Structure 1
Amino acid sequence: MFYYASKILWFFATPSNLLIVLVLIGALLAMTRRFRRFGLASVLVVTLAILALGLLPISSYLMLPLENRFPAYRDDGRQIDGIILLGGAIEASDSAARGSLVANESAERVLDTIGLAYRHPQARLLISGGGGMVFSDGTAEAPIIAAYLRTIGIESSRIIVEDRSRTTYENALHSRSLANPQPGERWLLVTSAWHMPRAVGVFRAAGFPIVPYPVDYRTRGALEDQRMFIYVSEGLRRLDVATKEWAGLLAYYAAGRTSALLPGPQDSEPLGTVSR
């Protein structure tokens, strides 16, 4: 129920969708005699809001605290026993239809995982990502990515496929069950930097301590170094992503799926231990 409610609610609450709906409502009101002035004013205000949110770096300011929450991974030479790749980097249904990997704007998740796989040839690779059934055909990502990894020479014996999860919370639960991490093992978690706080929070709650490996940065990293967007669609797209992630953090914290509103490195469990 949580999954379906969250997906349906977010469809209507997505900023870009909501702004367009407000413009349409204003236009309809402007066609009536009684609310004509209010409707016209609403259209003007919302249109200006779309331009401001789409061109000004407001969405970058929202995303910046998420991306800066965990530092970039620095290899300290210690052994890596496993690498977890969270889904969200490919268009699963398009990939299945084309018979070829169709990546999206989070392709760095797959690219960095490939690099890690070759730098740590003994590490297991856990690909986590199922298919949602609300706004898609249910095609799972993990098997498609796993098949691609095999075509570039990564041994099948190293790959673990987790294709049941539909949410970050389920990513953590099913990944822990399949990986069965042992005390002393080190597992890297590869996901987008803006998604890392929520991912770390649920993996901790699931008793699966991981080492964050953030990728797919969208901002420049410094508050004063953000730039305006050239296209309104770019700013609105980033606004959608940032707003969804903040909403996800709030919802997970309220539901008790994370122990902190904004999980960070300072409240991390000791590496190499697994709570039972």
Structure 2
Amino acid sequence: MVPINLLVELGIISVVLMATRFAGLGRKLAATTLVLLALAAFSPLGNLLLYPLESRFPAWDPSRGVPDGIVVLGGSVDTDLSAAHHTPVVSHAADRLLAPAELARRYPNARIVFTGGSGNLVATGAREADYSAPILENTGIPRERLILERESRNTYENAIFTKRLVAPKPGERWLLVTSAYHMPRSIGIFRKAEFDVEAYPVDWRMGGRDDLFSFTNVGADGLGRTDTAMREWIGLVASRLVGRTSELLPGPAKD
């Protein structure tokens, strides 16, 4: 469940309770919900939650050598809207689809893998890889260079299925392209799957430490940042609890 949606549902419950003999409880719940929504929308809460995620991994250092492969995580294309309109619909995190073009140009021998199926609870047959491939081709990546993994439903399956598909060899260097806030959990999951990848973060939501206590982006933007960060922190805790990562907040590998 999306955290902000949960607050909205609590607000609805509070209204219902106020029409019953539990009116006192309903008023307290309504007040609590309003305070939490105000904090999410009009305070730096979202920035404070996002910053430790986005700053966990630095930008990739090209001086370390040429990569053998590039793994691009899905999460940009809305498969339902794409299927409805018969054309790719990018809903967010477009940087995940733009960054591979520059990497492909710079490293012409690197293998390029896009991994993403459908995260829908009810299967519809629409696969993100199928709709993302034309976008990647339009950015200049030849179709014959693209390797598509189209069955995964989440980051854990991204790692497992991609490793199975490309069979990385010992000593090979693979980049992992995903949103900066999503990188800690992604790296942790790939490490647990014994697929050694290097972070190539994109799609930043903050400029840096100077934005921590910024009140310039409030309202809907504040809600969006808080919601994104909360979902990622919940994902980190859940991944650690079920054993899909070895650390709560994975970071750069120690040399």
Verify same fold: TM over 0.5.
yes
1:31 partner letter: A
Q: 1:37 to 1:73 in 2, by over 3 A?
A: same
2:143 partner letter: S
Indicate conservation of the 8 Å contact 1:56/1:229, yes or no.
no
SS in structure 2 of the partner of residue 76 of structure 1? helix
1:15 is aligned to 2:32:
no
Indicate conservation of the 8 Å contact 2:113/2:146, yes or no.
yes
- Cα deviation digits, residues 45-83 of structure 1 (max 9, x gap): 321321121111101111111111111112116222111
Report the CA distance between 1:225 and its aligned residue.
4.0
| Separation of aligned partners in 2, 1:17 and 1:138 | 27
1:98 is aligned to 2:85:
yes
TM-score by length of 2: 0.92
Report what 2:228 is aligned to. Answer: 241
| Separation of aligned partners in 1, 2:47 and 2:212 | 10
- Cα deviation digits, residues 95-136 of structure 1 (max 9, x gap): 233333321221111111122111211111100001123167
Q: 1:254 to 1:229 in 2, by over 3 A?
A: same
1:194 is aligned to 2:170:
no
How large is the Cα RMSD of the aligned pairs? Answer: 2.0
Q: Which runs of 5+ in 1 are unaligned?
A: 1-10, 271-276
TM-score by length of 1: 0.85
Indicate conservation of the 8 Å contact 1:85/1:113, yes or no.
yes
1:172 partner letter: A
| Separation of aligned partners in 1, 2:225 and 2:212 | 16
Q: Which runs of 5+ in 2 are unaligned?
A: none
| Separation of aligned partners in 2, 1:152 and 1:257 | 33
Greater Cα shift, 176-185 or 217-226: 217-226
Indicate conservation of the 8 Å contact 1:28/1:39, yes or no.
yes
Indicate conservation of the 8 Å contact 2:73/2:114, yes or no.
yes
Aligned residues: 255
Report what 1:3 is aligned to. Answer: none
Indicate conservation of the 8 Å contact 1:61/1:223, yes or no.
no
Q: 1:93 to 1:173 in 2, by over 3 A?
A: same
| Separation of aligned partners in 1, 2:45 and 2:241 | 26
